Amino acid sequence: MPEEKAGIPDFEKPLLKLEAEIEELERLGREEEIDFGAEIKKLKQKHENLQKDIFSTLTPWQKVQLARHPGRPYTLDYINLIFQNFVELHGDRRFGDDPAIVAGFAQLNGEQVMLIGHQKGRDIQEKMLRNFGMPHPEGYRKALRLMKLAERFHLPVVTLVDTPGAYPGIGAEERGQAEAIAVNLQDMSMLEVPIVSIVIGEGGSGGALALAVADVVMMLENSIYSVISPEGCASILFRDPTLASRASEELKLTAQDLKRLGIIDEIIQEPLGGCHRNKEEVAGRIKEKILNSIRELKKISPEKLIEGRYDKFRKMGRFRIKKGGRR
């Protein structure tokens, strides 16, 4: 698909070229009945070595590009790969439905959960429908309505985070975008059921945090989570959005940085080359992490859950006061 090819990172293109050469030799071998086994073996070894070299030394900006990769699995992909009997629910009971957030009841190995996640869209029609994964206020209000429903039925909440950020349009602001996000942060902190959140792609600002005030917050290895996009940061700090690569270094937005800083609890390893290289493998890892987390969280009383969740987020953003009173 043209949309799939448009966002391929430059550092991945040499791998795609080798893959095309391997496929072409395999095709010729079948059609012409010629044995290209030795040549194919050499190309595959070259591909393997190059892939290891590239993905063992990724920069933060390259990880941003992987998090936005057009082939990366989205929420609906994981729903199909991980969950069973998903029943989507719609609407915020105030304004309307927001397709940028997909939510509903689902089963996970017999465990009933409330599943909520951002959805970006593959082709241009779906991207427009889903608003490129940028929710309006009604999306966050829908999410919170269903979290409250989960609380009523004593069901764990699982959220999959993947958004550039909440939609900043005039209509969204008029309908209370900031208030909708703020209420989610407040009410999620007091929810009496376990909450497990996984950043599967982009974790953009409050638009991501509105689904991520959780007891356990995990990130896929090549996902990102930040208060602002690298381009937005570069525009503000450096007055030049083309310096996004430099901004991504300063933002500390990678899973590895955020684990070290205590913002997230765990990193879920991706297959070599990224999630899009083996969706089933990464889905299996996500499933295992969710089940383990829910199993442990269900042992904790609602009061202790709320207390631990509150303490977890209060500890973030620590600072030191230097001599002389300056921070």
What pLDDT, in 10s, does the model give residues 289-304? 999 999 999 999 999 9
pLDDT value, residue 26: 87
Q: What's the rounded Cα separation, in Å, for the pair 229 and 231?
A: 5
pLDDT value, residue 38: 87
Q: What's the rounded Cα separation, in Å, for the pair 21 and 131?
A: 37
pLDDT class of 1 with cuts at 50, 70, 90: very low
**Category of 191 on φ-ψ map: left (φ > 0), alpha (ψ -120 to 50) or beta:** beta
116: part of which helix (H) or strand (E)?
Answer: strand 111-118
Q: What is the pLDDT of residues 175-214, one digit of tens each?
A: 999 999 999 999 999 999 999 999 999 999 999 999 999 9
pLDDT class of 3 with cuts at 50, 70, 90: very low
Asked if residues 110 and 85 have their Cβ atoms less than 8 Å apart, the reply is no
pLDDT class of 30 with cuts at 50, 70, 90: confident
Average pLDDT over residues 305-318: 89
pLDDT value, residue 101: 98
pLDDT class of 4 with cuts at 50, 70, 90: very low
pLDDT value, residue 161: 98
Q: What's the rounded Cα separation, in Å, for the pair 22 and 20?
A: 5
pLDDT class of 158 with cuts at 50, 70, 90: very high
pLDDT value, residue 28: 86
pLDDT value, residue 2: 35
Average pLDDT over residues 264-290: 95
Full-model pTM: 0.90
pLDDT class of 107 with cuts at 50, 70, 90: very high
The residues, ordered by sequence, that sit 6+ positions from 201 with a Cβ below 8 Å of its Cβ are 67, 68, 72, 74, 120, 161, 162, 220, 223, 224
- Which parts of 176-254 fold into alpha helices (H)? 177-189, 205-209, 230-237, 244-251
Residue 248: pLDDT above 60? yes
150: part of which helix (H) or strand (E)?
Answer: helix 137-152
* Domain extents in the chain: 2-57, 64-314
pLDDT value, residue 83: 97
Least confident of 32-36, 107-111, 150-154: 32-36
Residue 62: pLDDT above 80? yes
Residue 124: pLDDT above 90? yes
pLDDT class of 135 with cuts at 50, 70, 90: very high
Average pLDDT over residues 101-115: 96
64-314, what's its fold?
2-enoyl-CoA Hydratase; Chain A, domain 1 (3.90.226)
Quote the mean pLDDT of the chain.
Answer: 92
User: Residue 208: how many CB atoms within 10 A of its CB?
Assistant: 26
Higher pLDDT, 318 or 47: 47
pLDDT value, residue 7: 80
